[in-house]
């Protein structure tokens, strides 16, 4: 099986398990941008615990650009690194006002010019907020694409370039979002749950092989109900979902 075959089969199998959603709560591109910046080094649950009040107080770039940094810091403190994050979301908002008429631009070339926005954040915003294909490579996507032998690279830019050659653009956003969900719930960093994984019959890193040969392309046994930050599968005692973007 080629890497392209594995990518396509993994995309198909994960599509049957997970919706193509971000677990960051948002109602527009500005909120998605701010929430994604805040999600660095923390969980989506933590971000979702602070953003309703933050967006009620600062509903758009114009409001946040002129915010009192100390007030913003206090509001986002649970997400960690709050000094830097407050500075970044205020600066990003100011850049939106100065260069993009206060609107989040729907082009990766423009998004990456904003403070605190790299290709990962830009691709998430493009895919989730605008429906424009983008393959975001976070820590989960990096780990899973390497375990599935879709890449040998550890460089997110190279991983993005390699994987996007294996799939049609309309699959990029969904595959990235589903890899993130699968990485949080099944293909955990320290102890992947291979026996529970729907990719275990062809994943080169699998510690098990599914009995009875090839699985069907639809996975009903572990079908999921997704809630924000909740596991879609039966939990094991002592296990916790992984971290955020
Ligand atoms: S089979 Fe194991 S290593 Fe491969 S994707 Fe699934 S959980 Fe990860």
**Domains along the chain?**
3-21+136-196 (1.10.1670.10), 29-130 (1.10.340.30)
Q: Which residues line ligand 1 (CB under 6 A)?
A: 144, 147-148, 186-187, 192-194, 197, 199-200, 203, 205-206
Q: Model's pTM, two decimal places?
A: 0.81
What pLDDT sits at residue 21? 86
- Which residue's CA is the closest to the ligand 1 atom numbered 8? 187
With beta carbons less than 8 A apart as the criterion, state whether 231 and 185 touch: yes
Each residue of 14-27: pLDDT tens digit?
A: 999 999 989 999 99
The per-residue pLDDT for 215 is: 52
The question of whether 138 is a catalytic residue gets the answer: yes
Residues in the chain: 245
Mean pLDDT of each 10-residue bin along the chain, 245 residues long: 96 95 94 96 95 98 97 97 97 98 97 96 95 95 98 96 97 96 96 96 87 47 40 40 36
Give the ligand 1 atom nearest the CA of 205.
3
Residue 120 annotated among the catalytic residues of the structure = yes
């Amino acid at each position: 099986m080629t890497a392209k075959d594995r990518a396509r089969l993994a995309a198909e199998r994960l599509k049957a398990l997970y919706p193509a959603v971000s677990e960051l709560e948002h109602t527009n591109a500005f909120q998605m941008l701010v929430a994604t910046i805040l999600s660095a080094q923390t969980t989506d649950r933590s971000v979702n615990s602070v953003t309703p009040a933050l967006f009620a107080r600062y509903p758009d770039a114009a409001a946040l650009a002129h915010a009192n940094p100390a007030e913003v810091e206090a509001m986002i403190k649970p997400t960690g690194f709050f000094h830097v994050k407050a500075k970044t979301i205020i600066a990003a908002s100011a850049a939106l006002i100065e260069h993009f008429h206060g609107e989040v631009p729907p082009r990766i070339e423009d998004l990456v010019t904003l403070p605190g926005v790299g290709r990962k954040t830009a691709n998430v915003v493009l895919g989730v907020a605008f429906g424009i294909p983008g393959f975001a490579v976070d820590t989960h996507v990096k780990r899973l694409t390497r375990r599935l032998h879709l890449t040998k690279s550890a460089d997110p830019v190279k991983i993005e370039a390699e994987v996007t050659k294996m799939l049609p653009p309309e699959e990029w956003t969904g595959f990235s979002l589903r890899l993130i969900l699968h990485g949080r719930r099944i293909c955990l960093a320290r102890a992947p749950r291979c026996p529970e994984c729907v990719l275990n019959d062809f994943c080169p890193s699998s510690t098990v092989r599914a009995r009875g040969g090839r699985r069907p392309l639809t996975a009903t046994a572990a079908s999921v109900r997704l809630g924000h930050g909740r596991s879609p599968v039966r939990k094991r005692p002592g296990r916790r979902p992984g971290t955020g973007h």
